[in-house]
Structure 1
Amino acid sequence: MIRAIYSINGTATTVYKALKIWEDYKKKKPNLIWIDIYLENHELGQEETLLLSESFKFHEMSIEDCLFPQYPKIEEFGNYVFAAVHGIQLKPHYFQEFEDSIYELDIFVGKGFVVTVHAEELFFLETLFEKAKARPQVEMKSLENLLYNIFNKVVSSYEFTLEKIDNKMESLEDDILKGSETVNMEEILNTKKVIFAMRKIAESQQTPYIYFTRANNNLISKEHLVYFRDIYTQCARMNQSITIRSQMAVSLLEVYMSSVTLRLTEAMKFLTLIATILMPVLIISGYYGMNVKFPEYSIFGERELWVFAVCLMLLSIIAMLIYFKKKKWF
């Protein structure tokens, strides 16, 4: 699916046919045109391919990069720059299947045009497109403004995800400290997996953005460089935040393991106390359970001997409890 929007004298025009887009672009010569291509089934249609390769003269390697997953990168060609950036659009159960929430956005940027290519529907692009239709004099006033809005939404998606992760980690930490039995290692490992997946794509994310902060590039005017330095700063801060969260996830796992060990130690301590307290009982019952005639028979008699043995067991238990209490073992 393809769509385009351009503004002439403050009036927005939208086009949904590839051939018509190129005709309008060459005939009306707008200062800026934004073409958005959604790759259904990860494939370019014939008209879209002709528009990119024949009309705009994009290099075949750049077009091919749009069809297959790429690491974040920036490539400079004669009449345009190709950038591949990654963002996050959270889906249900994203903690279990976070990789499905990561999207790639490929961007062709040249004098007077921005072409975005993506393999899944991106809600923020839909919002930006609708804003451009409603307020073209603001949203489409310059290439820098449009490009900044797109980059800002991509980078902000990481911050939104980090907020979700923070809430999850705080909840897990509270449950662990409360000794809740509902916490399991799988939840913590899923959180750790999400952070590491973010870190994998975020570390190389600064490469495309730093290009647009250079004073010698031909696309961004000097007065607009500050906006792209802000994007780069956000990206650097995001990388630092992700690194901190990864360390927190490791610490959370250590706290969980410590709490499990502590609960196990308490259980073992309790069982050891029970076994130790009952040890004299076992010795006494074993002694009087032998099939021999004890000297005590002549002193107490058979029935009284049973009472004596029971009293001896109870006294031994009480003595053990008093001893453990003085030692502060419980």
Structure 2
Amino acid sequence: MRRVVLKNNDFQWIDVVSPTNTELEAIGHEFAIHQTAIQDCLQPEHLPKQEDIKDVNFIIVRFFDEAAPATANNVRQLTRKIAIFLGKDFLITIHRLDLGFLDALREKWETPISNHPDIIVLILRDLLKGVIKSYEVPLTDGQEALEEFESTIFEGKSTINSVQKLYLLRRKMSIYQRMLYLLQDILIKLDSPFELHSPLLQDLREEIEGLCFVVDHTVESADNLLTLNLSLASYRTNEIMRVLTIFSVFFMPLTFIAGIYGMNFEYMPELHWHNGYYGVLGSFIGLTLIIYIWFRRNGFL
């Protein structure tokens, strides 16, 4: 569906929702947009990018999808795509589904301010700002989830399920990290075509730098928690093996002696000793004490 959001003597903003191939080709012919850029609009998994094609500035951005399922773990499931075409007298936005923040922008720019001389840059700034802000909620949720995982790990309550959830969170944060850095690259590239309007985009650069710092810290923290969980699991395994080893060392000589005198050969003089039973018990106690003292002196107990 094609709709004209804003139109005056010098500029028009056209918003296209879920277009068909025919509609995209018509838009390409009407505004002299290169066919390769039109084809990029049809690729659902296309990553953010910016390029100049003749007199048209072509931008693809991806923003966080609030309707993404909890099990989402790839770019297509976690984000949605918006294609933006900027010309001297037009701005075209193309996306598959209705977007909440675009509705707010349409209401804002239907006011008399639409005659502002820098209107195209201001609308672009608001579009990119909406995309950037869409990542604030998942990043905040990710930090809170990490704190819960950290408590679970240090309390020794981590399970296979919790580790799987932690890995899924780390994967999501890594995707957000990639999207934000690609968006940051787009803002850097926009310095050239919009050099005179650079101050208008400066707040976006500062905002995305802050989010990049947050997502870097979150990914690093998730990696550290995964490593810590593996280390603690290995430590607990080693402790179990240490205890089992200590028990086996105590019982090996006792089992050896008991095995010898349990063979019941006819010609074993010790079997007929009057105090043989007490002698064996005494040797058991003596060996146990010797092993215990040796373990204590060497710091094994």
Same topology, TM > 0.5: yes
C-alpha contact (below 8 Å) 1:4/1:36 kept by paired residues: yes
CA distance in 2: counterparts of 1:99 and 1:48, whole angstroms? 21
Between the aligned partners of 2:120 and 2:167, the Cα distance in structure 1 is: 42
CA distance in 1, matches of 2:205, 2:85: 19
Letter aligned with residue 49 of structure 2:
K
Deviation at 1:275, TM superposition (A): 0.9
What fraction of aligned residue pairs are identical, expressed as a percent?
22
1:59 aligns with 2:38: no
Structure 1 residues 325 and 248 mapped into 2: Cα distance closer, same or farther (>3 Å)? same
- Is 1:250 equivalent to 2:223 in the alignment? yes
SS across alignment from 2:203 = helix
User: Residues 84 and 92 of structure 2 are in contact (CA less than 8 Å); yes or no, is this contact kept in structure 1?
Assistant: yes
Q: Would you say the 8 A contact 1:94–1:101 is kept in 2?
A: no
2:274 is equivalent to residue 295 of structure 1: no
Correspondence for 2:139: 162
Q: Does 1:125 align with 2:102?
A: yes
Structure-2 separation of matches of 1:185 and 1:255: 11
TM-score computed with the length of structure 2 as normaliser: 0.80
State the distance in 2 between where 1:127 and 1:108 align: 20
CA contact (8 A) 2:74 2:175 kept: no
Are 1:82 and 2:58 an aligned pair?
yes
* 1:167-178 correspondence runs (5 A): 167-178=144-155
Contact conserved, 2:72 with 2:78, CA < 8 A, in 1? no
The unaligned stretches of length 5 or more in structure 1 are 7-24
One-letter identity of the residue aligned with 2:136: E
What is the number of residues matched between the two proteins?
Answer: 295
Counterparts of 1:124 and 1:321 in 2: how far apart (Å)? 72
The residue that corresponds to 2:127 in the other structure is 150
Change (3 A) 1:146 1:297: same
Distance 1:265 1:98, change over 3 A: farther
Q: CA deviation at 1:209?
A: 1.7
* CA distance in structure 2 between the partners assigned to 1:262 and 1:291 by the alignment: 44
The residue aligned with 1:34 is 13
Contact kept in structure 1, 2:48 and 2:179, CA below 8 Å:
yes
Partner Cα distance (1:271, 1:176) in 2: 25
Shift of 1:307: 5.9
Query: Structure 2: 5+ residue runs without aligned partners?
Result: none
| Worse-matched range after superposition: 82-91 or 94-103 | 94-103
RMSD: 3.3
Offset from partner CA, 1:19-44 (integer Å, 9 cap, x none)? xxxxxx5xxx35654322222xxx52
- 1:204 to 2:193 alignment: no
Partner residue in 1 for 2:79: 102
Secondary structure (helix, strand or coil) at the match of 2:93 reads strand
User: How far apart, in 2, do the equivalents of 1:211 and 1:307 lie?
Assistant: 91
Is the CA contact 2:24–2:38 (under 8 Å) kept in the aligned structure 1? Answer: no
Q: Residues 84 and 91 of structure 2 are in contact (CA less than 8 Å); yes or no, is this contact kept in structure 1?
A: yes
2:191 aligned residue (189, 210, 213): 213
TM-score, L = length of structure 1: 0.74
For 1:138 and 1:312, how far apart are their aligned partners in 2? 100
Cross-structure match for 2:4: 4
